[in-house]
Chains A and B, each alone.
Chain A
């Protein structure tokens, strides 16, 4: 069975500071990994995905994530936070066919001015 653990239900950073959202996964098969962002009362928007190609994945809005198999991690980073980054972020894992996305509990990112 696949599972995702997101460390920290709330993360607070200052505007301009580094954003680091942590995600660890468990999977018995080579995983596909995703980061989605959700703004209040909206659906999910895909930020980036890892599908067994390059381990460093660049996404939209300046975000990137690095797949580390040895650490079973897929942490999301952004060098400089903007106020508009305040949202909830979900890490998810699926099998190679893209079925059954399993989501982490989510991390709410707060950006302070």
Chain B
């Protein structure tokens, strides 16, 4: 149980384009989903927290207009990197938490390369 998937696993795009990453909880309802970014040889940094049906809460320093998060259902959250630039190249990982429980279950990650 507690499986989280992400799609795509790899994406390469041109600078200035937008990229959408999907995060799905496959066998549980995720009332809360989280988006993290991990730069090479660094730890995970929380970007934003999203609750189903509500606006996402962004961490300090994360541009909400650049990283659009939608959590329209209990099993799906999407992260859209708008007008991507090379500095946005990173490993993006989502996690999901079942309401009332403390454990976050992580997806396999999406590697984004912006040329």
Residues of A in contact with B (beta carbons under 8 Å apart): 32, 34, 36, 41-46, 49, 51, 90, 94, 96-106
Contacts and interface: CB of A to CB of B under 8 A. Distances in A.
Contacts of B107: 43
Given A51-B102, A98-B101, A98-B103, A106 B43 contact: yes
Contact of A100 (B4, B49, B101): B49
A36 B46 contact: no
Contacts of B34: 101
A98 B104 contact: yes
Contacts of A104: 43
A97 B102 contact: yes
B2 to A, nearest CB: 8
- Main SS at interface, chain B: strand
Given A42-B109, A43-B93, A100-B49, A90 B102 contact: no
A82 B103 CA distance: 26
Contacts of A96: 102
B102 A98 contact: yes
Given A43-B109, A99-B49, A90 B43 contact: yes
Contacts of A34: 103
A41 B113 CA distance: 14
Contact of A43 (B43, B101, B106): B106
16 contacts: A34-B103, A43-B6, A43-B93, A43-B108, A44-B93, A46-B103, A46-B105, A90-B43, A90-B44, A94-B102, A98-B102, A99-B32, A99-B49, A101-B34, A103-B44, A103-B45
B111 interface: yes
Given A49-B103, A97-B102, 15 more contacts: A32-B102, A36-B106, A41-B109, A43-B106, A43-B107, A43-B108, A44-B44, A44-B106, A49-B102, A90-B43, A98-B102, A98-B103, A98-B104, A101-B34, A101-B95
A104 B95 CA distance: 17
